[in-house]
Amino acid sequence: MRKSWLRDYIIRRLFYSIIIAWGILTVTFILVRVGPSSPADRYLANLAASGQDVTQVIAAIEARYGVDRPIWEQYTDYMTNLFRGNWGWSFSTSMPVIELIKKHWIYSFQLILLSSLFAAFLGILIGIYSAVKQYTKADYTFTFLSFIGISIPNFWLGVMLILIFSVKLGLFKTYYDTTLPLFSIENLKALVLPVITLGTGMLAAYVRYTRSAMLDNLRKVFVTTARAKGLPERIVIGKHVFRNALLPLVTIILFDLGSIVFGGAYLTEIVFGIPGLGQISFKAIFANDYPVVVAVTLIGTLVVLLVNLVTDIIYTYLDPRIRYD
Amino acid sequence: MNATHHHQRAAEQSPGPSHFAGNVEMDNVVLKVNNLKTYFFTRRGVVRAVDGVSFDLKKGECLCLDGESGCGKTVTALSILGLIDSPPGRIVCGQINYDGLDLVQCSSRQLRKIRGNDIAIVFQEAQSALNPVLTVGDQIIEQIKLHRPLNYKEARRRAVELLAEMGIPSVERVMNYYPHQLSGGMKQRALIAMSLSCDPKILIADEPTTAVDVTIKAQILDTFRELKAKRQMSLLFITHDLAVVAEIGDRAVVMYGGKDVETAPVSEIISNPKHPYTAGLIACLPDVSKATDKLASIPGTTPDPLEMPPGCAFHPRCDRAMAICSQQQPPRVAVSGEHKVSCHLYG
């Protein structure tokens, strides 16, 4: 009742989201097709070796996959199918795209979820500590470390971690073992290095964001009011200051979830051989498996749009001053 | 019975500072500040924000701390509550006696029990003194629950009563409002209600009338006057405005350069100021009965807190300065029973 305007706002935003998703889908669809490559390319070497007529076979394969038709026709076809819930056929893995995604999404999800939790939890704690202890040795140390953390490219970090902890020390396997059951200690252990790889950059960023958001609020008069009430420092910092610092933090954390995480997660999956969406998308690009590439991009788009919407809604609860009408 | 009650109320509300001053007993001191020095150790040097302030706050009186901005009024108030940011600030000497305790020596745990419970403070700008993301109700309830063994419902009822007592309309709705949904005057009242929530024995008001407009200012002064009469509370009222002092104070402490330069009942201060600085302040008050183009002012500016003049800090601006003023700090002299002044003219 209090937020009746919020429902209208959500409906409006969902409508915009559909338009944006459609736009991105169209651009992706066109981009992957304008290149000179074809899904038949990967057969070329074999074909040439066996002395067959290459052009004829390519034409046959393209006809089979339907990529010989005009691009406009393929586009309308794809969109109609998508609208009906049919995500297309993956040429390279010979299965429906939707089946492929169902099989692999969980690997990306667990990696992103664990990395975000790890980064947000530790980053916020360190950030708060750093702000409260501003200009102490601890603060300088954390600020310096976070600067390094932000600067390290995560694919390099992943390779270094494997070299040190897997190859030299033998603490972990050098690749991700897909045979492990998802909800097991072994699986968690297998994810330690990938989570550190993906989480470190975010962690460092969250330390800095939290520190500055806390510092912005620590010297405000309402903090002195809170102390003058007789509240213990734990509540002054944890409730009065942090609630105010949370506003910019939520935006950044959830926004990162949409952007940094997706790029970073794909690279991390490839480095550690985790069969997630990044991995299949990566392979699909080299196999010219258009439907998979477009589908994975679409999923990424939808997640980002959804997360942004959720951020805006959470915001209205965190900051009572915000209204979107 | 109704008639007598009415009479009593009328008597209590009769204006005039002399009325309350007469009621105050000599040794009825609730808070004794003795030679308080609060310094800030900054990179540029030591700021002696409060440099030897002494005064007594008596039961049921309104004591005004008066002086220009930067003279150490607010730092004195924050020192009493142990709210000086450290580093860079530190109380380097002095005692603050309350209820058999020296607040300067108290542990932070002891201080937390006193803050908001025995000694409460109302800050200048209600807009920034209230937490923008918590409802007014929650902020009051939080304080009540901290110091009183009440459950949420009881604490809420108490908060509602307090807001109603402060003359806030449709209280139940206002409880769920966030600060930005209230007007300036309402915010100030909510803040006062919050400070009163645990029946403090001492209420410190740090320039509560500075950030509001003239009508609200009059209302807030009325509120404080009523509160003092009704609750037998001691009020430490910080202001730079002598007109406000005249209106609400029983006694006043005039501060300059981190020191108390003159302490006296308000009527004495106004009619018979001893310190040249106090006299200057009073001469600056506009007199509406005379037509004038120019308001009087004290020559010179407030001294740089990093480079306080030696001797009496006021001597560079003083028209009655003598040779000794720049060499020695003036002693505190009693010119009459309750009238003390720190000036070589009376030494």
Query: Encoding tokens for residue A313?
Result: 């809604």
Please list every residue in chain B whose beta carbon sits closer than 8 Å to the beta carbon of residue A229.
Answer: 115-116, 142-143, 146, 194
Q: Do B116 and A320 touch (CB under 8 A)?
A: no
* pLDDT at residue B222, rounded to an integer: 86
| DSSP code per residue over B257-287 | TTEEEEEEEHHHHHHS--SHHHHHHHHHS--
pLDDT in tens, A224-280: 999 999 999 999 999 999 999 988 888 888 877 776 666 788 888 988 989 989 889
**Model pLDDT for residues A185-205, shown as the tens digit of each residue:** 888 888 999 999 999 999 999
For residue A247, the chain B residue with the least C-alpha distance is B133
Residues A122-143: tens digit of each pLDDT: 999 999 999 999 889 999 999 9
pLDDT exceeds cutoff 60 at B19 = no
- Residues A216/A245, Cβ–Cβ less than 8 Å: yes
Q: Which pLDDT value is given to residue A325?
A: 67
HSE-CB at B90 with a 13 A cutoff on CA atoms is: 7
What pairs with residue B42 in β-bridges?
B45
Q: How confident is the model at residue B323, as a pLDDT? A: 83
Tell me how far apart the alpha carbons of residues B47 and B122 are, in angstroms, rounded to a whole number: 25
Interface of A with B (CB under 8 A): 220-222, 224-232, 240, 243-244, 247, 318-321
Chain B residues in contact with A319 (beta carbon < 8 A): 132-133
- Whether the bond between B132 and the residue before it is cis, its omega within 30 degrees of 0, is no
pLDDT above 90 as % of chain A: 34
Integer CA distances (angstroms), B306 to B42, B328, B329, in order: 10, 19, 17
Position B273, amino acid? P
Q: Tell me if B165 sits within 8 A of B230, measured CB to CB.
A: no
Per-residue model confidence (pLDDT) at position B16: 41
Full-model pTM:
0.80
What is the rounded distance in angstroms from the CA atom of residue A4 to the CA atom of residue A2? 6
Contact B123 A244 (CB under 8 A): no
- Return the residue of B nearest to A319 by Cα: B133
Number of Cβ within a 10 Å radius of residue A180: 16
**CB-based contact B143 A319, cutoff 8 Å:** no
* Chain B residues close to A216, C-beta within 8 Å: none
For residue B46, the model assigns a pLDDT of 86
- Report pLDDT for B2: 44
The set of residues, in sequence order, having a beta carbon less than 8 Å from that of A90 and lying 6+ positions away, is A96, A97, A100, A284, A289, A291, A292
- Which of the listed ranges A221-225, B28-32, B328-332 does the model predict with the highest average pLDDT? A221-225
Q: Which residues of B touch A136 (CB under 8 A)?
A: none
DSSP string, B96-120: EEETTEETTT--HHHHHHHBTTTEE
Q: Is the dihedral of CA A223, A229, A233, A234 positive or negative?
A: negative
Strand partners, B32: B56, B97
Contact B128 A220 (CB under 8 A): yes
Residue A129 CB coordination number (10 Å): 18
Chain A residues near residue B178 by CB distance under 8 angstroms: 320-321
Q: A interface mutation test: which of B133, B142, B174 has the most A CBs within 10 A? A: B133
DSSP A103-119: HHHHHHHHHHHHHHHHH
Question: With an 8 Å Cβ cutoff, are B112 and A230 in contact?
Answer: yes
Whole-number pLDDT of residue B21: 40
B197–chain A nearest CA distance, Å:
10
Cα B192 to Cα B185: distance, rounded to the nearest angstrom = 11
Q: Confirm whether the ipTM is greater than 0.90.
A: no
Higher per-residue confidence, B56 vs B126:
B56
Q: Which two three-digit tokens encode residue A106?
A: 């969980």
Does A208 score more than 90 pLDDT?
A: yes
Facing A229 at nearest CB: one of B78, B115, B132: B115
Chain A residues with beta carbon closer than 8 angstroms to that of B83? 224, 227-228
Residue A318: its pLDDT value, please?
82
DSSP A123-164: HHHHHHHHHHTTTSHHHHHHHHHHHHHHHS-HHHHHHHHIII
Nearest CB neighbour to A221, from listed B117, B120, B123: B123
Q: Domains of chain B: which residue ranges?
A: 2-118+201-278, 128-199
Residue A315's closest chain B neighbor by CA?
Answer: B133
Pick among B121, B131, B196 to test the A interface (most A CBs inside 10 A): B131
Residue B226 confidence (pLDDT) above 50: yes
Q: What pLDDT, on a 0 to 100 scale, did the predictor assign at position A227?
A: 92
Query: Does domain B2-118+201-278 sit in CATH 3.40.309.10?
Result: no
Q: What's the confidence (pLDDT) of residue A3?
A: 67
Burial class of residue B32 (count of CB atoms within 10 Å of its CB; 0-12, 13-18, 19+): middle
B69 or B256, higher pLDDT: B256
* B128 chain-A contacts, CB cut-off 8 A: 220-222
How much is the pLDDT for A2? 57
Average pLDDT of the segment spanning B249-259: 90
Integer Cα distance of A320 and B140 in angstroms? 18
Q: What is the DSSP letter of B317?
A: G
**Mean pLDDT, residues B14-33 taken together:** 57
Residue A221 has pLDDT above 80, yes or no: yes
State the DSSP code for A3: T
Chain B residues in contact with A220 (beta carbon < 8 A): 128
Q: Residue B24: which pLDDT band, with cuts at 50, 70 and 90?
A: very low
Residue of A nearest to B180 (CA): A321
Mean pLDDT value across residues B109-114: 90
> Domains of chain A, with CATH numbers?
98-318 (1.10.3720.10)
Q: What is the mean pLDDT of chain B?
A: 83
Instruction: Tell me: pLDDT of B120 over 70.
Output: yes
Is pLDDT above 50 for B25?
A: no
CB spacing of A229 vs B143 below 8 angstroms: yes
Asked whether the predicted pLDDT for residue B6 surpasses 70, the reply is no
How many interface pairs between A and B have CB atoms less than 8 angstroms apart? 71
CB contact under 8 A, B128 and A222: yes
The mean pLDDT of B145-172, rounded to a whole number, is 90
Q: Which residues of A fall within a CB distance of 8 Å from B134? A: 240, 243
8 A C-beta contact, residue B235 and residue B60 = no
Say which range, A14-18, A46-50, B217-221, has the weakest mean pLDDT: A46-50
Q: Which residues pair with B53 in a beta bridge?
A: B36
Q: Is the dihedral of CA B337, B342, B346, B347 positive or negative?
A: positive
Question: Is the pLDDT confidence value at B15 over 50?
Answer: no
Cis check: omega of the bond before B88, within 30 degrees of 0: yes
CB contact under 8 A, B143 and A321: no
Contacts of B199 in chain A (CB under 8 A): none
Nearest CB among B112, B129, B132 relative to A244 is that of: B132
**Average of per-residue pLDDT values in chain A:** 86
